[in-house]
Homo-oligomer: A and B are copies of this chain.
Amino acid sequence: MDVVQILERSVLFTRIQPGNVEDLLSCLKARTSTFPKDYTIIDEGEYTDEMGIILSGSANIVRHDFWGNRTVVANLGVADSFAETIACTQLPSEVVVITCEPTIVLFLNIHQVITTCRKGCVHHQSLIENIVKLLSQKNLELMKKMNHITKRSTREKLLSYLSEEAKKRKSRTFSIPFDRQQLADYLCVERSAMSSELSKMRSEGLLEYQKSTFTLYEEE
């Protein structure tokens, strides 16, 4: 397994020359751990100073509510990172990170990541920029989604999402990266109800579509 090659694909090591990764890792108190299948890497209520990056295998992020109901929040694959937020905030984890299969994780001390080393190495500076960018990107994604799903009706959610896509592409005609089921899941509505709402909107002349290509029309 070529650690450096995997890290190149992670957000944290963006624009850091592969040749410098080795040096950086010791600076970051990096350590790798191997976990068996179904192993709980981080449990609810736990604190940590380390963020993790998956080197091989996969893991789920899982929430439990008061009654013990499980929800899978996300699935992590190779080069994905986790635990940045709890490491940065020093707050207890509200989720469980549990392996789906035998998994190898690279842990990095978050304090080392956000502290420029005494040598003042330039790559370390890139790390800081990358982690700030990583957190900001997550933020923007969440806010964007929030703006759609806080709408009360299926129609409003659709218009919110579709109009944002139209704005993004600067065109009233555009394609979306979802099929109907994925779009319904993203907007937290029911697929068939969404489908019929779409037809209704089409019959009202609000929009037109074929497959995943939509065209919006101005209101008169």
Contact = CB atoms under 8 A, between A and B. Distances in A.
Contacts of A188: 149-150, 152
A205 to B, nearest CB: 13
A133 B66 contact: no
Interface in A102-159: 114-116, 120, 125, 128-129, 131-133, 135-140, 142-147, 149-150, 152, 159
Nearest to A150: B188
Interface in A22-72: 63, 65-67, 71
A91 interface: yes
A88 interface: yes
A116 B114 contact: no
Interface residues of A, number: 48
A101 B118 CA distance: 46
B88 A132 contact: yes
Q: Tell me the interface secondary structure of chain A in the complex.
A: helix
Contact of A135 (B66, B139, B160, B162): B139
A89 B133 contact: yes
A94 interface: yes
A179 interface: no
Interface stretch (A1-9, A12-20, A163-171, A196-204): A163-171
Contacts of A65: 159-160, 163-164, 167
A31 B120 CA distance: 28
A194 to B, nearest CB: 13
A195 interface: no
A147 B115 contact: no
A75 interface: no
Given A66-B164, A131-B132, 4 more contacts: A66-B159, A85-B139, A88-B132, A149-B150
